[in-house]
Amino acid sequence: MADSNRLIFTMLGPRGSGKTSMLACMNRLFEDLLPGSFYPTDRKTYADLEDAYEILETEANSSKRQYNVKVLAGDSEIKRFDFTIKGKKDSIPVTFYDFPGGFISRNANEEDYNEVVNIVKKSAAVIVAIDTPYIMENDGEYIKYAAIRDIEQMLKKGLEDDKQEKLILLVPIKCEKYTETWDSRQALKVAVKHAFKSTLLMAESEQYKGRVAIAMLPIHTIGSVKFSRFNFLDGDKIEQVFMKKAGQRFKPEHTDQPLRYALSFLLEQFKRKREDSSWWDQFFDWLMNLFTSDNLPEISAYVRKGIKTTDDRFEIICGRKLLGL
Ligand SMILES: Nc1nc2c(ncn2[C@@H]2O[C@H](COP(=O)(O)OP(=O)(O)OP(=O)(O)O)[C@@H](O)[C@H]2O)c(=O)[nH]1
Ligand SMILES: [Mg+2]
């Protein structure tokens, strides 16, 4: 299969929002979600994500009461994580792109910025890491640090002139404090929808209606910590301080949900094979060959069985049909 038919996913979010951490947690889950079919293409990719996971775990389980939010490995270049999903007859090359958050900012170098635009354009699913404390604390007083306008601008450019279906997953990270009670979970949902109002309006517009699915999936990549306060530094900089929850150890939670939603979306597109001749067409023919009609329902059922749609923290905002749910 030509590399142009590679299945592409993109992590999107500002610096330090938790993209690499989320990917590191998801990396642990591929084997479970695609039993016997998941193969990391290069060991280095796999090892890098394993290292990132171990850093999270070590920091979370250390005896310090305070949890310091540090950017993992100080990412400064676009990274791609390549995997293969092996089926009965053929295999799917899959790539997750992970950007340094600075590449989507207004001050980014033009070349870096345009590269991100192109990758978002060719991605089937965009997984947005939302830096939740900036949206939630002090009624959104610090929301500018969550760089929502930059994310929305990138999503808009990535969807322009594009006929293919797309999945956008809004994933609040560092949200332990805001998912504890039913009330706080509702407040989180309202705040995220308010922050991404333009994107939601765009998805409902004539131009995109029916081909953009958006879901909100708050996840815990650490789980055992809780936002405590901001530290205000020189030059308008700000730092987040988290405290460990007494007696709790590293506990990623719901990190399988973005993956399950993304796979469910792909399987649904496959099932409803579209008329327009986007790259999907070739992809579907090829996927048909990979997952014979015998084992496709089995894979779909497996992926969907674990999807949480009734849990009050998750919400399919639009395009439920595209997800096959
Ligand atoms: N409390 C809490 N902290 C988290 C969570 N996920 C990530 N972090 C912390 O957030 C910091 C930044 O995470 P990264 O994954 O490096 O962020 P990034 O988006 O990849 O950053 P860049 O690569 O610089 O754009 C790390 O210190 C993580 O420990 C979470 O679910 N809860
Ligand atoms: Mg990163």
Residue 255, phi-psi category: left (phi > 0), alpha (psi -120 to 50), beta (remainder):
alpha
**CA-to-CA dists, residue 179 to 110, 183, 278, 285, 312, angstroms:** 38, 9, 39, 42, 10
Q: Which residue has the higher pLDDT, 269 or 144?
A: 144
User: Is residue 216's pLDDT more than 90?
Assistant: yes
Q: Over the stretch 129-163, which tens digit does the pLDDT of each residue have?
A: 999 999 999 999 999 999 999 999 999 999 987 67
Rounded to 5°, the CA angle 108-112-117 comes to 100
pLDDT higher than 80, residue 220: yes
pLDDT of residue 229: 95
Average confidence (pLDDT) over 268-273? 67
pLDDT band at 2 (very low <50, low <70, confident <90, very high): very low
Average confidence (pLDDT) over 18-34: 87
* Percent of residues, the chain, with pLDDT higher than 90: 55
Return the residue whose CA atom lies nearest to atom 21 of ligand 1. 16
Stretch among 94-103, 240-249, 299-308 having the lowest mean pLDDT: 299-308
Give the separation between CA 309 and CA 154, rounded to whole angstroms.
27
Q: Is 179 helix (H, G, I), strand (E, B) or coil?
A: coil
Separation of 24 CA from ligand 2 center, angstroms? 10
Return the pLDDT at 234: 86
DSSP state of 314: -
Specify burial of residue 257 (Cβ count, 10 A radius: 0-12, 13-18, 19+). buried
Q: What is the predicted pLDDT for the residue at 277?
A: 47
- Looking at the predicted structure, is the pLDDT value of residue 19 above 60? yes
At residue 275 the predicted structure's pLDDT band, cuts being 50, 70 and 90, is very low
Q: How far apart are CA 76 and CA 73, in angstroms?
A: 9
Flag the least confident range among 154-168, 199-213, 225-239, 257-271. Answer: 257-271
Q: Which atom of ligand 1 is nearest to the CA of 72?
A: 16
- Banded model confidence at residue 299, pLDDT cuts 50, 70, 90: low
Instruction: State the pLDDT at residue 46.
Output: 84
The single-letter DSSP state of residue 220 is B
Pocket test of ligand 1: the residue of 66, 72, 220, 244 to mutate, having most ligand atoms within 8 Å of its CB, is: 72
Q: What is the pLDDT of residue 189?
A: 97
For position 5, what pLDDT does the model report? 61
Higher pLDDT among residues 139 and 286, named by residue? 139
Asked if the model's pLDDT at residue 318 lies above 90, the reply is: yes
Residue 51 has pLDDT above 90, yes or no: yes
Measured between alpha carbons, how far is 162 from 266 in angstroms, rounded to an integer? 17
Confidence of residue 298 (pLDDT cuts 50, 70, 90): low
Q: Residue 313 pLDDT more than 90?
A: yes
Output the pLDDT for position 1.
Answer: 42
Q: Which two tokens stand for residue 134?
A: 């900036």
Instruction: Set out the domains of the chain in order of their start, with CATH numbers.
Output: 3-323 (3.40.50.300)
Tell me the pTM.
Answer: 0.92
Give the tens place of pLDDT for each residue, 57-113: 999 999 889 987 765 555 688 889 888 877 666 667 889 999 999 999 988 999 999
302, pLDDT greater than 80: no
Q: Measured from the CB, is residue 218 less than 6 Å from ligand 1? A: no
Q: Average pLDDT in the 192-212 region?
A: 95
CA of 271 to the centre of ligand 2 (A): 34
Q: Whose CA is nearest to atom 7 of ligand 1?
A: 18
Instruction: Decide if pLDDT at 296 tops 80.
Output: no
CA of 169 to the centre of ligand 1 (A): 17
Nearest partner of 124 among 281, 6, 41, 292, judged by Cα: 6
Ligand nearest to the CA of 174: 1
Q: What is the mean pLDDT of the chain?
A: 86
